[in-house]
């Protein structure tokens, strides 16, 4: 699916974040899946951060910057 506008791209990132699912037992019991999930979430948040920076939303930029990179705190970051 080709993204036609910035709005489509931003909506896709927001939809991905809303649907992001974490198996808590797996996340907290094994560092390997935790690292993978942290990396995926960090990438999604970096995409969101880029939009906020482009749109000049400095308050939102500072909120997102506080949680990235995600390191074992994916629930808090979400």
Residue 70 lies in a domain: yes
Condensed to tens digits (0 to 9), the pLDDT of residues 18-45 reads 999 898 888 999 889 899 999 999 999 9
Residue 59 domain-assigned? yes
Burial of 5 (0-12, 13-18, 19+ CB in 10 A): exposed
Per DSSP, helices labelled H in 1-57 are 6-19, 24-29, 31-54
Give a yes or no: residue 27 inside a domain.
yes
Look at residue 47 and tell me if it is in a domain: yes
Instruction: Please report whether residue 1 resides in a domain.
Output: no
Number of domains in the chain: 1
Residue 32 lies in a domain: yes
Its domain, for residue 44, covers 6-77
Q: What is the pLDDT of residues 62-76, one digit of tens each?
A: 999 999 999 999 999
> Considering the domain boundaries, does residue 12 fall inside one?
yes
pTM: 0.82
């Amino acid at each position: 699916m080709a993204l036609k506008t910035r709005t489509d791209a931003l909506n896709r990132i927001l939809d991905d974040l809303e649907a992001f699912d974490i198996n808590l037992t797996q996340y907290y019991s094994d560092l390997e899946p935790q690292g993978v999930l942290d990396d995926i979430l960090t990438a999604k948040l970096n995409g969101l951060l880029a939009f906020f920076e482009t749109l000049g939303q400095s308050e939102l930029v500072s909120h997102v910057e506080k949680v990235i990179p995600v390191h074992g705190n994916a629930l808090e970051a979400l």
